[in-house]
Structures are given as C-alpha cells and as structure tokens.
Amino acid sequence: MNRSKRIALVLYCLLVVCCCVWVPWRIVVPGDPPVRIGYAWLWTAPSGYDPKVGSPDFPVIGLEIFAVTVLAGAVWAATRS
C-alpha cells in the first residue's frame, strides 16, 4: 500500500469516527413525524433539550457513513497504485 492510499484510509477512518461521535438528534412524538433538533456529541443532547426526550437519528448516521464510504472508495480508486 503506497502513501496516498494510506492517507485515504486514515482520512476515511477519521471521518467514520466523526460520523459516529458528532451525531444528529431527533425528538419522536407519537402521531407526529420526527423533529430533527440538530447535531451534538453522542453522549449529550443539543443544548436546551432533555437527553431523555431526544435520541440520535440512526438512519441519518447510516446515510452519512454510506456517503463517506462512497467518497473514500472513489478517492481510493483514484490514487496511484
């Protein structure tokens, strides 16, 4: 593995960790669609909201990780062998 592929791999790993730690939050009210309230650390809810009411928005987190994987795959394929 050459230097450019190692750099792409390290950046991919950092972005995946970022997607898993800095997450979107939502509030689910029965009968209403979920309300997205913003981004915050995984272990704390956004300021002004009770963490018992909100929860991380896992479908959005999965979409972010998928997008990062596609981007990193393109960079990986574009780097020299």
Q: Is the pLDDT of residue 46 over 90?
A: no
Confidence of residue 41 (pLDDT cuts 50, 70, 90): very high
Domain spans, the chain: 3-78
Q: Output the pLDDT for position 29.
A: 80
> Count of CB atoms within 10 A of residue 24's CB?
19
Helix ranges, 22-57 (H): none
pLDDT score of 49: 80
List the beta bridge partners of residue 48.
Answer: none
47 pLDDT higher than 90: no
DSSP state of 31: T
Summarised one tens digit per residue, pLDDT across range 49-78 is 877 788 899 999 999 999 999 999 999 999
